[in-house]
């Protein structure tokens, strides 16, 4: 693996590698496609063209897996461990960028209709929240409407969501062995992380990958790419942690700005001094310089 791919400027995941980039990705993707569609396409009879949008900087948005199937269908598959209500909007952005890439710009101005690949949108969810086995999200749910306005939307995008956790996604998992083994690897990783926290042990990713190989889970893949998989897991979980920290920091800043506004209102409306307002709101002495600085910004 190159230095660039280990410096956290590039965010990749095991799921993306398995179904979109590894040398076995075409077979893995087709197995998943067949499981989702109830078909039995053969790899030697099927044309698959990757249509992923690469991320070039850490924490920039890119789609997970997209393939053109026999030139007629563009299938976009996202893997999520948290519930995201904005997936239809994100997938609209992704498929638009894919169409821009595969359709020559001048062709859009021709008088004759251009045939474009049919898009399909899937999310595979394996987080810990209680999510239905199969559900849908629609772009139209996000449209601002007047109460009682039931006019059919002029634009729609439907995302089918599959919960691939054991006990929820068993039907799909039984149809796609690679996906089933991937979820088993994730389960081992979760167990290993919990064990590491409980027992103050390091290297949960290494243990999970080694244990999976022992159990015959993705054995050929892990034999070739164990070190890369450990690194991808490490980057992936660092990314998730960074997002969580940023979310918490943003929330904290919002609360602080709200309190600073309260200080300002007390000063303006009740003619208090800043010190009196801080006293009234119970702001500790050590935090007051921070609020003084915030008051200058609002």
pTM above 0.85, yes or no: no
Give the pLDDT of residue 26: 97
The closest alpha carbon to 184, from 18, 20, 34, belongs to 18
Residue 226 pLDDT > 60: yes
Place of tokens 């600073």: 260
Give the pLDDT of residue 289: 83
Give the pLDDT of residue 8: 34
CA 252 to chain centre: 24
Backbone angles phi, psi at 24, to 5 degrees: -90, 0
Between 41 and 281, where is the model more confident? 41
Residue 230 pLDDT > 50: yes
Give the pLDDT of residue 268: 83
Structure tokens that stand for 168 in this block:
């929820």
Place of tokens 């067949």: 34
CB 290 within 8 A of CB 256: yes
Split at pLDDT 50, 70, 90, the class of 139 is very high
Give the pLDDT of residue 243: 45
CB 151 within 8 A of CB 143: no
Residue 92 CA to residue 96 CA, distance in Å, equals 6
Residue 254 CA to residue 82 CA, distance in Å, equals 23
- E-strand spans in 41-163? 48-50, 65-69, 73-80, 118-125, 134-138, 158-163
């Amino acid at each position: 693996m190159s230095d660039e791919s280990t410096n956290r400027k590039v965010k990749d995941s095991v799921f993306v590698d398995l179904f979109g980039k590894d040398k076995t990705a075409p077979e893995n993707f087709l197995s998943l496609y067949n499981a989702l569609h109830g078909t039995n396409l053969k790899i030697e009879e099927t044309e698959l063209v990757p249509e992923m949008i690469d991320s070039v900087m850490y924490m920039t948005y890119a789609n997970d897996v997209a393939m053109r199937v026999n030139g007629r269908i563009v299938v976009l598959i996202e893997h999520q461990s948290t519930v995201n209500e904005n997936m239809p909007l994100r997938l609209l952005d992704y498929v638009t960028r894919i169409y821009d890439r595969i359709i020559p710009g001048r062709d859009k101005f021709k008088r004759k209709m251009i045939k474009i690949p049919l898009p399909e949108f899937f999310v595979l969810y394996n987080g810990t929240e209680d999510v239905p086995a199969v559900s849908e999200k629609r772009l139209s749910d996000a449209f601002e409407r007047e109460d009682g306005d039931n006019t059919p939307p002029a634009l729609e995008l439907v995302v089918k969501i599959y919960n691939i956790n054991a006990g929820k996604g068993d039907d799909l998992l039984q149809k796609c062995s690679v996906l089933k083994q991937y979820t088993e690897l994730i389960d081992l990783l979760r167990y290993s992380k919990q064990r590491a926290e409980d027992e103050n042990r390091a290297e949960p990713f290494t243990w999970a990958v080694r244990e999976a190989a022992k159990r015959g889970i993705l054995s050929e893949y892990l034999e070739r790419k164990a070190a890369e998989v450990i690194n991808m897991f490490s980057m992936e979980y660092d990314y998730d942690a960074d997002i969580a920290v940023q979310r918490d920091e943003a929330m904290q800043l919002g609360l602080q700005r709200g309190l600073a506004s309260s200080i300002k209102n007390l000063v303006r409306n009740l003619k208090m001094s800043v010190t009196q307002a801080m006293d009234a709101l119970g702001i500790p002495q050590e935090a007051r310089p921070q609020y003084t600085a915030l008051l200058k910004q609002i």
